[in-house]
Structures are given as C-alpha cells and as structure tokens.
Amino acid sequence: MLQGKTALITGSTSGIGFAVAQRLASTGANIVLNGLGDAGEIEIARSKMESQYGVRVIYNPADMTKPAEIKAMVEGAVGQFGKVDVLVNNAGIQHVAAIDDFPVARWDAIIAINMSSVFHTTRAALPAMKSAGWGRIINIASSHGLVASPYKSAYVTAKHGVVGLTKTTALEVAQQGITCNAICPGYVLTPLVEKQIPDMAKAHGVSEDEVVHDVLLAPQPTRKFVGLDELGALVLYLCSEGAVSLTGAALPIDGGWTAH
Ligand code: NAD
C-alpha cells in the first residue's frame, strides 16, 4: 500500500513508535527511525526491519528538545527520499507529580518533546508534502489530549496542545491533499507506562498491582490495555485513500475511556 512512500516516525526506537514503524514498513514504506537508546540495539532493529520488509530504513538520533536537530532530520529525510509522505509524531515522555512538587525542568522537557516537537517536524515536512500534493500527518496524542487526570499536568497540557495543533494544521492544508489527525490512545503497555507505575503507586499511596488494576485501567471500561497492533492498524487506515476526508479529528482508541 505504501510502496515508494517514506514515513518518518519520531520516538520509534521503542513502544508505539516502533510498532507503527514496523507496520508501515510491512506495507512497503521506507522508514526514518528516531529516538533514544543503545546505538548497537537500534542498529540491529534497523537492519532487521530492512531485511524483513525489503525497504530502506535509516535512523536519525535527533533530540526532540532541539529544534535545529529536528529540522535537520526532516530536511535530511527529504534530501534522501525526495519527501516525507507520512509523518508520525509520536515521541513522548511522562512525569507524575502534584503541580506544587512538579520539577520545572520536567515541565519544560514534556512541553518540548510531547508538544513543540510536533510543530517543528510539521513545519519542516509541509513544504515537500505541499509540492507533492499528498501527505499524512498523524499525531499520537492521548486520552489525556481529551480529558485530564491528576498529577500529570505537563502531559495533559502538552497533549491538549497537540490536539489543537492537529486541527489548525488540518485546516491550513485541507485543499492540498494532506490530512492531519490525532490518535488518542488509552493505556498501552509500553516502557513509558511501566516506568510511571512506581511513581503513581507513591502518589496514590497504593501498591504497584493496585495501580495497574485500580488506577491505570480503572477509566478504561474494557479493563484491558490497548494493543500495539491496534495502533498500527489505525495509522495504516489513516494513510489509506479511504481516509482522504478524515482530517482534523482526535480519534480515541481507549476501550471506551472518553465515552464516560
Ligand atoms: P516509549 O517510552 O516506549 O517510547 C517513547 C519514544 O520516544 C522512545 O523511542 C524514546 O526514545 C523517544 N523519546 C523520548 N525522548 C526523546 C527525545 N528527547 N528525542 C527523541 N525521542 C525521544 O513510550 P510509548 O508508550 O510508546 O509512547 C509513545 C507515544 O504514545 C508518546 O507520545 C505517548 O505520550 C503516547 N501515548 C502512550 C500511551 C501508553 O499508554 N503507552 C497512551 C497514550 C499516548
């Protein structure tokens, strides 16, 4: 389906981003991987993806807190592949603390990585998408882009911002063959979630098991984590011609969380 197209996925060395990259590669897209991690492990994953799916896969370590690195990554991908057809803004971090205890440096990092990086990649990728008359921008927001939870002030702020930027982007490019949507997942079991369980246990004063069942999955009526394969399938649908009129939307995939 995406033969000859190029997809850049920020934060794709782990979790949702890696799963989305694999799904897009499996349908023929060349891939730009990005994210932090052990250089040797990333190289193994990169070359495995290339040989498994017969596509070109490159890795760029741009730090999503650094606008100049983000610009260079997108322009490098355009230089190498001609354009970025599919941009998936996925990089994200979390910090769980009450507002009056929230470290200022963590606030700044979350706003930069989870929100401002989406502006910087989109800004850099749009000119080539406009010239091509085709593009798909898919922003991985969160249920927390639609509703709030306590102790996640920076994350909730950033994700609500991503939903707003998604709508503005969609309006600006609506007549140029480019769609822009936000995906709003509920809880998906990835390192990002696993890492916050001890802090949430502390903040809520309960055990780690209780955090999973009584805090994390409590707002999710299915009481199940959302699967990585489900996110890959939704991204692929948004890339399809069937989704050409679907733009400016914030799509929940949350087991019914935001139906409450
Ligand atoms: P993850 O921790 O497994 O992956 C995060 C990715 O972002 C990694 O590749 C990491 O290296 C990258 N990253 C972090 N800081 C970076 C930086 N400064 N520069 C470049 N890359 C950086 O987490 P995940 O759960 O796969 O999360 C992916 C996205 O999905 C995030 O935006 C997250 O907010 C969102 N999300 C996750 C869940 C969930 O339950 N896991 C739910 C809703 C939304």
Atom of ligand 1 nearest to the CA of 19: 26
37 and 147 inside one domain = yes
How many structural domains compose the chain?
2
Q: Is residue 1 part of a domain?
A: no
Q: Is residue 14 part of a domain?
A: yes
| Residue in 14, 63, 89, 222 to alter for ligand 1 test, most ligand atoms within 8 A of Cβ | 14
149 and 212 inside one domain = no
CA of 90 to the centre of ligand 1 (A): 6
Pocket of ligand 1 (CB under 6 A): 11-17, 34-37, 63-65, 90-93, 113-114, 140, 142, 185, 187-188, 190-193
Q: In what order do the strands lie in the sheet with 30-34?
A: 57-60, 30-34, 6-9, 86-89, 135-140, 178-185, 250-253
Give the CA distances from residue 126 to residues 74, 102, 132, 155, in Å, rounded to whole numbers and listed in that order.
Answer: 10, 35, 10, 26
Residue 203: predicted pLDDT: 82
91 and 156 inside one domain = yes
Residue 151: predicted pLDDT: 92
The parts of the chain modelled with pLDDT lower than 70 are none
Catalytic residue flag (residue 155): yes
Of the residues 53, 59, 151, 155, only one is catalytic, namely 155
Task: Give me the half-sphere count of Cα atoms (radius 13 Å) on the Cβ side of residue 201.
Answer: 14
Atom of ligand 1 nearest to the CA of 36: 11
Angle at 119 between CA 254 and CA 139, to 5 degrees: 20
CA of 259 to the centre of ligand 1 (A): 24
Residue 196: predicted pLDDT: 82
Residue 26: predicted pLDDT: 97
146 and 200 inside one domain = no
- What CATH number should be reported for the domain holding residue 63? 3.40.50.720
Residue 165: predicted pLDDT: 99
86 and 213 inside one domain = no
CA of 175 to the centre of ligand 1 (A): 31
168 and 209 inside one domain = no
Domain that holds residue 86: 6-188+227-259
51 and 73 inside one domain = yes
CA of 71 to the centre of ligand 1 (A): 20
CA pair distance 22, 18, nearest whole angstrom: 6
Q: Is residue 175 part of a domain?
A: yes
- Structure tokens given for 162: 């991503």
Give exposure, 132-161, as e/b (b: 16+ Cβ within 10 Å): bebbbbbbbbbbbbbbeeebbbbbbbbbbb
